[in-house]
Structure 1
Amino acid sequence: MPRLFTGLEVPESVAFALSLKRGGLSGARWIDTDSYHITLRFIGDVDHQTADEVAASLDRLSNSMRFDVRLTHLGTFGGDKPRALFAGVEPSAALSQLQSAHERVLQRAGLPPDGRKFVPHVTLARLRGSSAMDAARFMAEAGRFEPLQFPVGRFVLFSSRDSVGGGPYVVEQSYPLAA
């Protein structure tokens, strides 16, 4: 059964700039730069028939308009026990609309609603054993985060293998956005 999710790819130049933040955080398992992405909707493990239905359903979203994404800051998930370090995405109406459209289309295809709040980000590292103080110190010492912006001309359906951290990710299908 494939494990699927939809997302936005991060261009190589932006991935390289993000990779310069790597290192110096104890307990961090750094994500490979070719696995950097912004998840729009986690789908999970599905049978092949459902995977085909999902892929066909996503075609309906190709009329969504192109837009830019802007990464503006470092952050963590997990509060007192941080589990991930990420680059945060500046809120955008176009991104929120695309993600909401994914949610609607995938529910119509028979998938249950995603119960998590959409917090767009690029995961840079998985954390194990890092304290909140370690993470805060790392972010303070990482220096000013120069915003990184890139155009989004398509979204993709990714598959991943069942592993810790998921990657490597494979683009199963891409869906161009309207100009």
Structure 2
Amino acid sequence: MILFAALPVDDKLAKDLARMSKGVPGARWRPRDNLHMTLCYFGDVTLDQAEVLDDALARNPLPPVEMTVSGAGHFGKTDIHSIWTRVLPNEQITALRKACRQAAREAGINLEARKYVPHITMAYLKADAPLERIISFEERMARFTAGPQLCDQIILYSSEPKKRGANLYVPQASYPLLG
């Protein structure tokens, strides 16, 4: 089962992002239910690992965090495959990420070693998406700011591929941020 921990996006932020989600041919804009800010991607885990992960995430109370988005960017240098809006980093988000990574270590999950960029994926791109339209989108998003949104829970999602359309993200557990 493929798992990841994320902060959910509230309705107001989702509406703000939906309003901006246009102008890039070849973009497959994410549906409302798929909008989130990933804290940690665990990948394909066993049921035993998932149980240990759940226990580790549940026993680490942390305080609520504020999430503010501003601007946009893309992933991929020669093959641009997604566009996103930036989540402004803060100490609370960093602490949540560290807690999720620690929980993964306790569960024996080997994590990818890639640079972490707090973001919300807005769209995945087809190979022929025009670069000039991606750049234009990012320039338009440079003036975009939304939030802060108060996040009072972490959600552990599973990702289930579908034959057509976006993967189905299913909440498996939630962990209140109360500390």
TM (norm. structure 1) is: 0.90
Shift of 1:141: 4.3
Aligned counterpart for 2:64 among listed residues 59, 63, 66:
66
Aligned residues: 177
The residue aligned with 2:168 is 168
Unaligned 5+ residue runs, structure 2?
none
The residue aligned with 1:115 is 113
What CA RMSD, in Å, does the superposition of the two structures yield over aligned residues?
1.8
Identity of aligned residues (%): 29
Question: Which aligned pairs between 1:5-154 and structure 2 lie closer than 5 A?
Answer: 5-61=4-60, 63-128=61-126, 129-141=128-140, 144-154=143-153
The CA distance in 2 between the partners of 1:88 and 1:97, in whole Å, is 18
Unaligned 5+ residue runs, structure 1?
none
TM (norm. structure 2) is: 0.90
The residue aligned with 1:4 is 3
Shift of 1:127: 0.9
Shift of 1:166: 5.6
The CA distance in 2 between the partners of 1:147 and 1:155, in whole Å, is 20
The CA distance in 1 between the partners of 2:106 and 2:112, in whole Å, is 13
- The question of whether the paired residues in 1 share the 8 Å contact of 2:66 and 2:150 is answered with yes
